Amino acid sequence: MQVNTTQLTEIATLIGEECVRVAYEAVLSLLEARKAHEIAKASHALGKVILRIVA
Burial of 51 (0-12, 13-18, 19+ CB in 10 A): middle
At 3-15, the pLDDT tens digits run 899 999 999 999 8
H/E element holding 52? strand 48-52
Residue 1 lies in a domain: no
Residue 7 lies in a domain: no
Residue 26 lies in a domain: yes
Rg (CA), the chain: 14
Domain count for the chain, please give it.
Answer: 1
The residue segments making up the domain with residue 32 are 22-55
Regions of the chain with pLDDT less than 70:
45
Q: pTM for this structure?
A: 0.58
Q: How far is CA 51 from CA 4, 24, 28, 33, 37, in A?
A: 23, 11, 5, 7, 10
pLDDT for res 45: 65
